[in-house]
A and B are shown apart, each in its own frame.
Chain A
Amino acid sequence: MNENDVKFIEDSFKKYYFNHFELIHVPERTAEREFGFQKFNSGMTRHISIKDDKELHLLLMKNIPSDVYCSNAYYSFPNLPMNEKDWKEADLIFDIDAKDLNLNCRSNHTVSICNDCKTISNKQIQWKKCNSTKLEEKSLTCKNCIEKSKLEVKKLFEILIEDFAIDKNDIHIYFSGNEGFHVYVYNSQFQKLGSRERSELADYILFNGVIPETFGMKKFKPNRALFPNFDERGWRGRFAKDVFDSKSKRSKIISELITNGYSSFQKKLEDVSTRIGVKIDPNVTMDIHRIFRLPGSINSKSGLTKIYCKNITKFDPFLEASFLNEDTIEIIADCPIEFKLKNKKFGPYDNEKVTVPTYAAAYMICKKLASIS
């Protein structure tokens, strides 16, 4: 990002932080958390401890960070180096990102930017112009991406409540500020679990590492009675609903499964997994020392806010997560994909001078698809 762009983005972020501090949720037990931030074109500053809202506000105004982070972990000494912090426990966190969902729509709204010759293309073709390998992909998330991510969030929500008995008030869902959702679980029986244990939880949620025996299938002499029923709880119940479709088909399908044999059942499980497994990023869940984007802060990949979702079904990030101001600005936009923010359509732009509101300009500049003219 060039200097003018940085200055423009920083100005607009600063206005946001000044006007919308009420949106920035300082997490509970603030003093036990590690904070960190990044500035444009520079590295990460972490191991910061903050007392209260006031201190956080001050840090934001003083540094105007591009991104702000806060640990899901609680430490005795959050500002000391990692091995001296004295880790106490950590909230359980989940990251669901549309880019991990293998959606067909992705190719329609993903562009490649060549970092050598600065050409932007939305075609998945071999780079002819300069033969560079330094291609960067940028996606302008679409409605489908968001809706499909929501489905994953809902699947996760159900497992957390049904299988793990988490109180629904202890589950907080945030739009990540870019292409997905972040889910926090507070006060659960999992607070003190380490990384390996959390990775086991992640596998459970992902439907990873499952064996046919769990669903009644055996190598030798399979027994019909061991196959799951519709009304069972947990994965057996979800498996039954997905595979048998309806109660009346159960018997017939079990016969088929038994006839097709053990290894075919294993393949079936892989196939089932893509539907009923929840596509969380396991690396986030198993990381107990992570600093995770702070709720209410802006995501510099998009200029959108990581915002709390009161009602996930109705939530529309293009409407509810865009908080930068309306002042117009002239930019040169090379954005081959149309997008919609705050109910207004923008683009496509073919390397042209346009005047747009700040929130739209910031969106494109953050995606490296525009520059201040």
Chain B
Amino acid sequence: MLALGQDEIAKYPFLADAGQYLKEQGFTLEQFGTDPDLIPLIEKAYNRIYAACEGDPQSYKSDIIENQASNTASLPREVFSFLLSIVLLKLTGIPTLAKRFALNEAMRAEAFLEKDLKNISTDSNELPIKIIEDLFSIKVKKHNDFFVISVSDYIKHSIHFHEREWKLINRHVEDGFVFLTPHQTVRLVRKELGTFITSKILTGKKPSMISGFEKFVNNLISYSKKFSISIVDSGEYPPCIKHAIEILEKGENLPHSGRFMLATFLLSKGRLVQQIAPLFKNAPDYNEKTTLYQLNHLAGTSGSGTQYSCPSCEKLKTQNLCFIIPECNNIISPLQFGKKKN
């Protein structure tokens, strides 16, 4: 673990060891559920989760302002609200909430990380560089205004992006390294940062209920219904389809081409428009009416009457939607996945 200062913990609370932190501050979890002075902190944590899941981080009142803690007393509050969020999510045990929360925390940390990265000198021992190195095993070096990382490390992460600007060809490459701005550097690890935070929540046993936490946990459980996507059993789906579903589950933006692929795929598998529509409800720009209209159009139940077919693997490759694995085994359409024998 990295040695952290107080306001560094507040910015990057996921780096702290929860149990140890509480002990150092002289608290136990039980106290938070019972001590009337501490209950507001659970409320703060609840809000933190709620704001994250709504995709509306502004509605959460952070005590960190302008990259600095507003005052010394507020620092532990910031850390506590994060640690308590984790506890609440663990008690709730719903992966969708965990993932949405983690993504939002990752984006929050990303903003701090970017600012910190901009301010470093050339010392590779500084915290932001250490974080990237320790958490994601990417070696970063500062080079004038840029940060350079090896081509292979870059591609390992960049292939998860859909935007063309992330393709290696659109980067400055020299002597085996890719040159990135601070913004690009931290953006590159957002997904992994999210995964790292998710794993903090989802690994380990589900703890037993702590008195005083029930109300919040129950609220979260009923709140989470909003996000449940039940129709899709993606067990035998090809990686491209699974990946698209994953993005939607996390409430991230799936490009139009991805939605087209997913919808046509599921329609071909015999799913009904009414079953597919809920998949898109987590999308940032969801609108029920337009979604149904578009799906009906693809299904051929409206408009021209022709059903659109699922794009070929080749096409999906050019759209960066293909996540080929050996099991894809030379098929030409995702619809063939799992049908062809080795």
Contact = CB atoms under 8 A, between A and B. Distances in A.
Interface of A: 82-83, 162-166, 189-190, 192-193, 195-197, 199-201, 203-204, 207-211, 213-214, 233-236, 286, 289
Given A200-B168, A210-B169, 5 more contacts: A165-B175, A189-B176, A204-B169, A208-B169, A211-B164
A209 B324 contact: no
A230 to B, nearest CB: 16
B173 A189 contact: no
Contact of B155 (A165, A193, A211): A193
Interface residues of B, number: 27
Q: 5 nearest interchain CB pairs?
A: A165-B176, A214-B170, A189-B152, A204-B168, A165-B175
A164 B152 CA distance: 10
Given A82-B326, A165-B176, A197 B155 contact: yes
A371 to B, nearest CB: 34
A197 B156 contact: yes
Given A193-B152, A193-B156, A209 B169 contact: yes
Given A189-B176, A211-B165, A234-B173, A83 B156 contact: no
Contacts of B61: none
Interface of B: 150-152, 155-156, 158-159, 164-165, 167-170, 172-177, 317-318, 322-326, 342
Contact of B172 (A193, A210, A234, A289): A234
A209 B152 contact: no
Contacts, number: 83
Contacts of B168: 200-201, 203-204
B136 to A, nearest CB: 15
A211 B164 CA distance: 7
A199 B172 contact: no
Contacts of A196: 159, 322-324
Contacts of B326: 82-83, 289
B169 A214 contact: yes
Given A82-B342, A83-B326, A200 B155 contact: yes
A209 B318 CA distance: 8
Nearest to B153: A189
Contacts of A209: 164, 167, 169-170, 318
Nearest to A198: B155
B47 to A, nearest CB: 39
Nearest to B176: A165
Contact of A203 (B152, B169, B175): B169
